[in-house]
Amino acid sequence: MRKASAAPAASGERQRSRDGGPLPAAKRLWQLQEAPDPVVEAYTTGEDPALDSALLRYEALGTLAHARGLERIGILSRKECLSLRNCFRTLLRREGFTILPSQEDIHTAVEQHLTAKLGELGRKVHAGRSRNDQVQTDIRLMLKDRLLSIHAAAVSAARRWARFGERHRKALMPGYTHLQRAMPTTVGHWAASHAEALIEGCRGLRWAFEEADACPLGSAAGFGVTLPLDRAFVARLLGFSRIQRNTLRVQTSRPRLEAAALSALALLARDLGTLSWDICLFSTAEFGFMSLDSAFTTGSSIMPQKRNPDVAELTRARAALFPGWLSQALSLGQLPSGYHRDYQMTKGPLLRALGTMGEMLEIVGRIPAALTVRPERCRAAVTEDMLAAQRAMELVRSGVPFREAYQRIAAQSRKLGEPKTARAPVLPKFPGSPGNPGWAAMERDAARERSWAALRRAALDKAWNRLL
């Protein structure tokens, strides 16, 4: 289903249903009599009408599970639950679902839709819920869904970079520290380092997923309700592995949860930024180690000869946005116990980070097929001076203490003129080293990540398909 954006509308504007009938005038779930001041209304609503369109599916799932819970304790009938499900099925098939600014958020918009279609049932389904645990449920369901998609994209990108590295496993190139030539390595070893970074990022995403995998429904505004809600039952319906037990902690934990997801995304983004930096650097004329296909570059508006690595540069720039989004979530979380409206402001950074990471991984996963290695340029840059550590280790093997060997080789190096291309560098062969990056181990790591994600995706699909 295509995500719909919220269209501008004046306060009090009425929507019309598919059959042409008007929906009730927008009235917030908390509103009693007086209409809010329009300036205050716009200020407090903020971005929610636009952002909340991304939560429609998760709002539907949470509402249906809650309805089943109300059926379990005799507040709704089975027939009413089926009516709700059919209504949501129709709604989710529609394109163009709009949240009016006067409706404030997804919760009011959906309840008004249900009331317009189902009458009194639309007003009954909110029993035992607060918008506070509704939005928490929506966010946690959305996080589980989106994190699994991002995880899959990261695993795919890792495998592509590993295969790229294996193709270039024998291509010698300089390894750098402080941007200075240090020791010989291979293009394969360099690519494998980025593949491993992506796998490490997957483990961070797993942690964030597990943090989100706790059902908040039934906590209401932080203190529960006197209805005998079966929270564990509703959690199982939604595919959560557990409930978030303490109802007050549910509300206080929201910015922490979002910060956990943003932390995992920020760490992954940092590594994608490093990869992008490398590509920008190694594709310069001064290095000339590799080049990007024309589809991944742009030209200059004045210099006809230039091709610029804009894709890599913009990936690097996007990576720089994540610490700011994380900082927002962490700062907004420094409040007393309980719900605060401040928490509304964490939704935007979270959704932007999830969307941006998806875009970045799509590009990063496509770069290996568009990257041409120039092995002769790489090899020519591996010079004799870079073998100093290798020669020191040869003296050590002959019995010379390391510090003495270090001094001898350093003295010899100072006497050398312009270094020439090295003839026969020897590469370490232990697992993970330039001579043995460990392709089989990387594939096993990727397989473990795929298996973990497949189990959780299957469980989610099974639970959600049953509800819908």
| pLDDT of 466 strictly over 50 | yes
Active site residue 300: yes
How far is Cα 142 from Cα 154, in angstroms, rounded to an integer?
18
Give the pLDDT mean for 232-250: 97
- Percentage of the chain beyond pLDDT 90 is 82
Give the pLDDT mean for 264-281: 98
The burial class, CB within 10 Å (0-12 / 13-18 / 19+), for 373 is buried
Closest residue by Cα to residue 202 from 155, 168, 247: 155
Q: How confident is the model at residue 24 (pLDDT cuts 50, 70, 90)?
A: very low
Catalytic residue among 17, 77, 294, 300: 300
Using alpha carbons, list the distances in angstroms from residue 222 to 15, 32, 65, 279.
33, 22, 19, 49
How far is Cα 80 from Cα 66, in angstroms, rounded to an integer?
12
13 φ/ψ angles, rounded to the nearest 5 degrees: -60, 145
- Percentage of the chain beyond pLDDT 70 is 93
Give the pLDDT mean for 65-79: 98
Q: Tokens 């940092």 — which residue?
A: 270
Which residues on neighbouring strands pair with residue 436, listed in sequence order? 433
The burial class, CB within 10 Å (0-12 / 13-18 / 19+), for 220 is buried
Active site residue 327: no
Give the pLDDT mean for 4-31: 45
**All residues at 6 or more sequence positions from 246 whose CB lies less than 8 Å from its CB, including other chains:** none
Question: Torsion over CA of 362, 365, 368 and 369, rounded to 10 degrees?
Answer: -60
| pLDDT of 3 strictly over 70 | no
Which pLDDT value is given to residue 12?
A: 35
Note the pLDDT tens digit of each residue in 408-452.
999 988 887 788 999 889 999 999 999 999 999 999 999 999 999
Query: Which domains does the chain show, CATH number per domain?
Result: 38-127 (1.10.275.10), 133-380+438-467 (1.20.200.10), 385-414 (no CATH)
Q: How confident is the model at residue 377 (pLDDT cuts 50, 70, 90)?
A: very high
What's this model's pTM, rounded to 2 decimal places? 0.91
Q: Tokens 């009954």 — which residue?
A: 124
